[in-house]
Amino acid sequence: MNGRRILADLKVTARGYLRNPIALFFSLIFPLILILLFGLIFANTGATAATLYTENFDHASPVSQEFLSGLNQTHLVTVQVINTSTGNLSVWLGQNDNPVGLVIPAGFGQNYTQHIATNVTLYVNPQDAGAAGSAEGAVQAVENEFNLHAACQSTNGTCSPVLGYIPQSVGKTYFTYIDYLVPGLIGFSILTSPMFSMVDVTSSYRKEGIFRQLSLTPLTRDEWLASRVIWYTILTFLAAAIMLGFGIGVFGAKVTISVWMVPFLLVGPLLFVSLGMLAGSIARTPESAAVIGNIITFPMMFLAGTFFPVSEFSPGLQVVAKVLPLYYVIDGMNQVLLFQNYARALTDFVIVLGIAVVFFAAAVYLFRWKGE
């Protein structure tokens, strides 16, 4: 391995790529168009009243009933009274993927009538700004009305508010479509740019005698391969930066940028450069290589969690998804960017690394520059 030669090949590869509008389009612009398109379609799914799950520990008092019906009349929320078995609404909300909840304490009605200051607890998920805003707005509005009413009836003539609320964050983050789309489309880039062009390059360079030409220079096959892996890793980092920039900047995606995404951005391109080379090496002509490449690429493009989270698939399709190498790249990125579940990310990474090593070894074994 000679760094100077790798760098020279990298320079030529980069130049060729940057001067090829089609390659550039599919690597960087196309995923961007996808994130804009899907983001716009799915970002705003309409402002319906948020359901406010309410635990009422003062069920018997007419004041609490009046308070809840006041909330309903704001049309910002729809009150849904529940009884949690755990007694912990925050946990219940997290388990059931609900963004807002309300707890009315025991003695709420009595305190109100006796002008004793009392608080309700409002659980909101700050990351679901829509539901949180609606719930806070509704509770504030109804409490103001109750406080004014209490002041008018006050015997001492002061207008001090009686009711207040304690805001609480719900312990779970809720993710929307756009949040899943960011890691999904980073995965899409990791898959498509090396796959499409390595399949083409491997088969057409062989047909056109460019490998033969290169084999007559001091450049080794391994140096050539290193240059390609480095190039697609650079492209992957660029694509990831663009996806994160647009996802967060334009659509407010709730992703956490973390250094733990780097292992996936390094090993992902290695996996698909190897797979692309394998497909290109097995095929006898560039035409059949393109077909083999598409057969491998297209199912992954749609079924590995790129455009839709795999958890929303039917159980049968989930099994299919879990056979695809890209699934583990995207799931790993989801674990890092969305859930900060590093244990599961590590498992995903080990699987991705294992597949990459196997594909890389097979590609190196099968890929030949010379006739025999």
Partner 1 sequence: MADAIVVEGLTKNYGSLAAIDNISFRVPPGSVFAFLGPNGAGKTTTTEILEGLRARSKGSVRVLGLDPWGEGRPLHRQIGVIPQDFRFFEKITPRESIDYYSTLFGTHPDPAALLERVKLSDKANSRFDTLSGGQKQKLGLALSLVNDPRICFLDEPTTGLDPTARRAIWDVVRELRREGRTVFLTTHYLEEAEILADRVAIINHGQIVAAGSPAEIIDRLGGPARLRIVAGSDVADFVRSRFPNEVRREGDHIDVVLRDREDALAILEAVQASRLAWTGFTTVRDTLEDVFVRLVGRMDDGVLKSSDGTAAGAST
The Cα 89–Cα 165 span in angstroms is 15
- The answer to whether 11 contacts partner 1 (rule: CB under 8 A) is yes
Binding status of residue 24 toward partner 1 by CB under 8 A: no
Q: Please state the closest distance from residue 188 (CB atom) to partner 1, in A.
A: 25
Q: Judged by CB under 8 A, does residue 22 bind partner 1?
A: no
Tokens for 310? 């795999």
**Interatomic CA distance for residues 265 and 263, integer angstroms:** 5
Q: Can residue 372 be called a binding residue for partner 1 (CB under 8 A)? A: yes
User: Pick from 75, 149, 212, 284: which binds partner 1 (CB under 8 A)?
Assistant: 212
Instruction: Give the Cα separation of 338 and 344 in Å (integer).
Output: 12
Q: Closer CB to partner 1, residue 143 or residue 223?
A: 223
Which tokens sit at 233? Answer: 């890793």
Contact residue for partner 1 among 46, 157, 218, 316 (CB under 8 A): 218
What x-and-dash track marks residues 154-193 binding partner 1 by CB under 8 A?
----------------------------------------
User: Counting contacts by CB under 8 A, is residue 217 touching partner 1?
Assistant: yes
Residue 15 C-beta: closest distance to partner 1, Å = 6
If one asks whether residue 209 binds partner 1 (CB under 8 A), the answer comes out as yes
Look up residue 47 and give its two tokens: 């402002």
226 or 296: CB nearest partner 1: 226
**How many other CB atoms are there within 10 angstroms of residue 361's CB atom?**
11
Minimal distance in Å, beta carbon 207 to partner 1?
9
Q: Which of 45, 154, 208, 262 binds partner 1 (CB under 8 A)?
A: 208
Nearer to partner 1, 9 or 179 (CB): 9
Tell me how many degrees the CA angle 231-325-360 measures, rounded to the nearest 5: 50
HEC profile of 161-206: CCEEEEEEECCCCCCCHHHHHHHHHHHHHHHHHHHHHHHHHHHHHH
| CA–CA distance, 114 with 37 (Å, rounded to integer) | 57
Work out whether 8 is an interface residue with partner 1 (CB under 8 A). Answer: yes
213 lies in the site for partner 1, by CB under 8 A? yes
Q: Which is nearer to partner 1, 208 or 312 (CB)?
A: 208
Binding status of residue 28 toward partner 1 by CB under 8 A = no
Find the binder of partner 1 among 36, 166, 210, 350 (CB under 8 A).
Answer: 210
Taking CB under 8 A as the binding criterion, the range among 66-74, 213-221, 296-304, 352-360 that sits at the site for partner 1 is: 213-221
Examine residue 215 and tell whether it contacts partner 1 (CB under 8 A): yes
Give the residue ranges of DSSP H helices in 156-314. 177-208, 210-215, 221-251, 262-282, 286-303
Which residue in 15, 75, 149, 284 binds partner 1 (CB under 8 A)? Answer: 15
The backbone region for 305, taken as left when phi is positive above 0, alpha when psi lies in -120 to 50, beta otherwise, is left
Q: How far apart are CA 328 and CA 303, in angstroms?
A: 12
In the three-class reduction of DSSP (H, G, I as helix; E, B as strand; rest coil), residue 118 is classed as: strand
Rounded Cα distance, 138 and 49, in Å: 11
**Which residues contact partner 1 by CB under 8 A?**
4-5, 7-9, 11-12, 15-16, 19-20, 208-210, 212-213, 215-219, 370-372
